[in-house]
Amino acid sequence: MSDTRKPEISERRRFFTNIAHSAGLGVMGGLLWAGYADKAKSAPLTLRPPGALDEKDFLSTCIKCGLCAEACKNRPSNIDTDTGKPRPETLRMAKANESVTIGTPFFVPSSVPCYMCEDIPCAPVCPTGALDIASLTNPATEKLDFRKMQMGIAVVDPNSCIAFWGIQCDACYRACPLMDEAIKLKYDRNERTGKHAFLKPEIDMNVCTGCGMCEKACVTKKPAIFIHPREIALGYPGDHYVKGWDTKDQQRVANQGTKEKDVTTKTERSKKKASDYLNEEVSYE
């Protein structure tokens, strides 16, 4: 008589083994996904295409269709008429091994910057508004205006920028599509030599678009000028600090329910010099 229990036990064992395997794979998949999601979340320096909403809204609005990258003038399928070669790719769609949310468009200026195309073809094709054309429209002309782009802000590291050492370099300045507006060269006397001048790059954060042409052009091994998303590069003083001399800034708090006449500062400016504060608590015999 054959033992009918054995197959039953082994079937059951196989059943539970399968469950354990599936659970293990599920856990492993979950861990991998969690790891990936953490990695993607910890990539706050991602630069998005022109007109992109704030990162959180962008991620919930972008459907990862890739139409922006397909419309980018600077895409490999667009053969350069001068060189006869495919153009390098500005907008890339993130792959699984990249620390950017998978399938979303981004660019890396040190590799390929955004060329600030006058007609901004990448933005109007977005079907969801993740690239907001209103933010790129000049109210005066009601046309798209590349000056309205706010992809990021250039930041200069004075320790590694050789212009701060006194060496003549204006590579970033010359590369900027908004030369002398977004980036200027500030003249400073070189006290070390006493007879030379510094010409230091200085960014106007209200004009810089974050295109990254300067980062791409920088001559140092790791660029001394680089682009950060605006949320990362800029601080925020809070609504309680108001520029009394700036009517626009007063309107900002007027929107918070404060009347313009109420925001005039009444604080008396101290007449003391900085040295007057030194040891003011100390009494001498």
Per-residue binding string, ligand SF4, 189-208, x by CB under 6 A, is --------------x----x
Strands 153-156 and 225-228: antiparallel
Count of other CB atoms within 10 angstroms of residue 130:
24
* Of 20-28, 78-86, 156-164, 209-217: span binding ligand SF4 (CB under 6 A): 209-217
Q: What is the CA radius of gyration of the chain?
A: 28
> Nearest Cα to 66, choosing from 95, 87, 38, 88?
95
Tell the smallest beta-carbon distance from residue 97 to ligand SF4 (Å): 19
Site track 158-187 with ligand SF4 (rule: CB under 6 A), x = hit: -----------------xx-x---xx----
User: Residue 87: how many CB atoms within 10 A of its CB?
Assistant: 17
Phi, psi of 187 (to 5 degrees): -80, 130
72 forms part of the interface with ligand SF4 (CB under 6 A): yes
Residue 66 or 249: the one with the smaller Cβ distance to ligand SF4 is 66
Measured CA to CA, the distance from residue 78 to residue 192 in angstroms comes to: 50
CB count, 10 Å around CB of 148? 17
Region from 23-31, 65-73, 228-236, 251-259 binding ligand SF4, contact rule CB under 6 A: 65-73
Choice from 198, 212, 218, 242 touching ligand SF4 (CB under 6 A): 212
What tokens appear for 4 in the block?
């009918």
Q: Which residues bind ligand SF4 (CB under 6 A)?
A: 49-50, 62-68, 72-74, 90-91, 105, 114-117, 120-122, 125-126, 128, 130-131, 154, 175-176, 178, 182-183, 203, 208-214, 227
